[in-house]
Structure 1
Amino acid sequence: MTDDIRSRIDTSRPHTARIWNYWTGGKDHYPVDREAGDRIRALHPGIGDYARADRLFLGRAVRHLAAEAGVRQFLDIGTGLPSADNTHEVAQRVAPESRVVYVDNDPLVLAHARALLVGTPEGSTDYLDADLRDVDTILERAARTLDLSRPVVLMLLGVVIFVEDDEESYDIVRRLMDALPSGSHLVLSHTITSPAMPDVDAAVAFWNEHGTPRLTQRTPDQVARYFDGLKLLDPGVVSCSHWRPEGDELPAEVAMYAGVGHKP
């Protein structure tokens, strides 16, 4: 870990990426993150299930797009801390020649990326230190690894929740998709607010008071708007646990909604 990255890691306040890692059984978190994670889980006992459901959704979506749609390039923005079955692992298990670029601006993510995000010899895996809002920089630097004239899967799992302004968040997604050619896909998940799930709102309110960065919830209809102009794959924008679940039983609904859209 470089001195620059080490100096950017704040262990005095809980951080969402580290709490997410804690909930999914990882090891990259600090006492302050575990304490906040436990308090949020006390407000909303199912919150850990959301993290796991989102990770499983990632696997199902990437496998489908690599195996069935034949896409071989993935731009994963808001990577989070590496864990089991990261995007490149899932994609390259299906197609070893897949090329994956990760983007994150969390210093702890960057500290682990070089060691953990290593792909197959046939493919390519790279990572960028950039903010979601810096669309031009992301596209310019991603083009060193990805051929942006060929289809790309843009992955935005649980990351646009950090853009508080609605119109700014839609504009970011639109600009990214506009830069990608026909045949590309958007894979997006987002925490929702719903009258049926008041404990989620309470957990998010606690987080926004004590943690960093702040989260913004949106309604299912607002989440669906990110896919405007795209052809939604069945079953549309749903609880991520309900997006093409594997097995005979339908999993419980979680307040993390997701969808996969195809660019005509």
Structure 2
Amino acid sequence: MSENQAPSSGSGRLNTGVAHNARVWNYWIGGKDNYEVDQAVGDQVAGMFPVIRDVARADREFLGRAVRHLVENRGVRQFLDIGTGLPTLDNTHEIAQRSAPDSRIVYVDNDPIVLAHARTLLTSTREGATDYIDADVHRPETIVERASATLDLDRPVAVMMLGILNFVLDTHKAQDIVRQVLSAVPSGSYLVLTHPTTDTDLGGEGNVEAMKFWNENATPPITARTRAEVTAFFDGLEFLEPGLVSCTRWHAATDSPTTVPQFGAVALKP
């Protein structure tokens, strides 16, 4: 889809009667694109697991640091952002094009609420390009095929998977999705990933009951994974320093960052 095309309605009708992740996440980071049902579930989860609001903000801040690092220090000019979520301040294309106006970005999501706001993601510098693909993460072949209309897949691409694989409940399927997408991009590409965990060293034990409540009262269902399971998504890749860490600690903005139960990492495809 080009900048002058309207998003399709292929994802179905917007359901405002059930809390939805994109809207609840928007609520946690202080956005206004949410409804009472999202706020109620968001408040309940935050009451059970207060750090979740910090996780939401930390995940977004990690995105900014990762994109800036890849553009300014690694020369990346192409981004495939899978599981875009609702537009907010400093979206991927804004961060990348601020430093490198010729950057090209393709967003991928299939939530009706995100589709409704996709026009915000289709602004671009004259030198660069942005695109939005209405596609499901479970269909990586479709994502790659349609992304190739905007991205040159013979040149390095940063594949962004922030807070999306936790909605693919089958771990083997999630690993296969990563493998398929990474196999379509060349050496010199990157995987940028965040993922919630129940690991106690990151304070993740509270995720267990919070996610149980979520899965009973909201959509889509979610899961957390251990360090070993998240590390497996990076098989065959080379971690950039400091490796797989709490996302607040990846190129931390402060000398003593807090720890949140959300892994974050960036890795190179050699």
**Same fold by TM-score greater than 0.5:** yes
Q: Pick the aligned partner of 1:198 from 193, 201, 205.
A: 205
Give the equivalent residue in structure 1 for 2:190: 185
Give the equivalent residue in structure 2 for 1:211: 218
Give the equivalent residue in structure 2 for 1:161: 166
Give the equivalent residue in structure 1 for 2:3: none
Kindly indicate whether residue 175 of structure 2 is the aligned counterpart of residue 170 of structure 1. Answer: yes
Amino acid at match of 1:80: G
- Give the whole-Å Cα distance in 1 for the aligned partners of 2:123 and 2:144: 21
Kindly indicate whether residue 43 of structure 2 is the aligned counterpart of residue 38 of structure 1. Answer: yes
Amino acid at match of 2:257: P
Q: Secondary structure at the match of 2:219?
A: coil
**Over the residues paired in the alignment, what is the CA RMSD in angstroms?**
1.5
- Flag structure 1 segments of 5+ consecutive residues without an equivalent: none
Shift of 1:116: 4.4
- Give the whole-Å Cα distance in 1 for the aligned partners of 2:154 and 2:138: 22
Give the equivalent residue in structure 2 for 1:67: 72
- Give the whole-Å Cα distance in 2 for the aligned partners of 1:127 and 1:4: 13
Amino acid at match of 2:20: H
- Give the whole-Å Cα distance in 2 for the aligned partners of 1:48 and 1:212: 18
TM-score (norm. length: structure 1): 0.96
- Give the whole-Å Cα distance in 1 for the aligned partners of 2:152 and 2:116: 26
Give the equivalent residue in structure 2 for 1:143: 148
Shift of 1:197: 3.2
Give the equivalent residue in structure 1 for 2:256: 250
Deviations 1:223-262 (A, max 9, x none): 1111110000000000000101123x32111011010000
Q: Secondary structure at the match of 2:155?
A: coil
Does the 8 Å CA contact 1:82/1:117 hold for their aligned counterparts? no
Amino acid at match of 1:219: T
Deviations 1:173-227 (A, max 9, x none): 0110011000000000001012443222111111011110000110012111111
TM-score (norm. length: structure 2): 0.94
Deviations 1:30-75 (A, max 9, x none): 1100000000000011110000000000000000000000010000
Deviations 1:152-190 (A, max 9, x none): 000000000011111110010011001100000000000
Q: Secondary structure at the match of 1:79?
A: coil
Q: Cα 1:168–1:122, aligned 2, differ >3 Å: closer, same or farther?
A: same
Counterparts of 1:12-161 in structure 2, within 5 Å, are: 12-161=17-166
Q: Cα 1:116–1:3, aligned 2, differ >3 Å: closer, same or farther?
A: closer
Does the 8 Å CA contact 1:11/1:32 hold for their aligned counterparts? yes
Tell me the number of residue pairs that the alignment of Structure 1 and Structure 2 aligns: 263
Amino acid at match of 1:129: D
- Give the whole-Å Cα distance in 1 for the aligned partners of 2:208 and 2:223: 10
Shift of 1:4: 4.1
Does the 8 Å CA contact 1:5/1:110 hold for their aligned counterparts? no
